[in-house]
Amino acid sequence: MIRRRVVGIATATFLATSGGIFVQLVTGNDPALVSAAAKSTAVASTSSSASTSSGASTSSGATNSGPTTAVTTSAS
C-alpha cells in the first residue's frame, strides 16, 4: 500500500513538472531564449547616434517576429 502511494506521488510529481516545462516551451517561453532576448535588449539601450564609441553596442531599425542568425561584416 505504502509502495503504491510512493509510486503514485512520484508519478504525479513527474507529470506535473514535465507538463509545466512542456507548456512553457510550447508557448515560446523557453527560459534560455528569454535570457538571450533580454540581454540583447539591454545592450540596445546603450546605442547612441553619430557618437564616438569604444565598446560594442546595438542599433535597432524595427521589431521582428523571431530570431535570425547574426552576420558579421568586415573588409575582405
Partner 1 sequence: MSSGLQVRGLYPTRTSTPAEPHSKIEAIERFPCFGGSCAVLVTGSGPAGTAREAAAKARQSLLVWHGQFSRFEHDSELSRLNRDPRETVAVGPVMSRFVEAALSAAAMTGGLVDPTLIGELDGVGYGHHFDSQPVPLPRALALAPRRAPGGPSQAPRWQQVAVDRGAGTVTRPPGVCLDSGGIVKGLFGDLLAGTLAGHESFAVDAAGDVRFGGAGARLRPIQVASPFDETVLHVFELVHGAVATSGIGRRSWLDAGGRPAHHLLDPATGRPAFTGVVQVTALADTGVEAEALSKAALLSGAARAASVLTKGGLVVYDDARFDVIDPPAASEWRS
Question: Which residues bind to partner 1, rule: CB under 8 A?
Answer: 25-26, 30, 33, 40, 43-44, 47-54, 56-76
Closest CB to partner 1 among 3 and 69? 69
Nearer Cβ to partner 1, position 1 or 73?
73
Name the maximum alpha-carbon separation found in the chain: 74
Contact 44, 60 (CB under 8 A): yes
User: How far does CA 70 lie from the centroid of its chain?
Assistant: 16
For residue 12, the minimal CB distance to partner 1 (Å) is 24
Q: Give the shortest CB-61-to-partner 1 separation in angstroms.
A: 4
How far is it, in rounded angstroms, from Cα 49 to Cα 59?
9
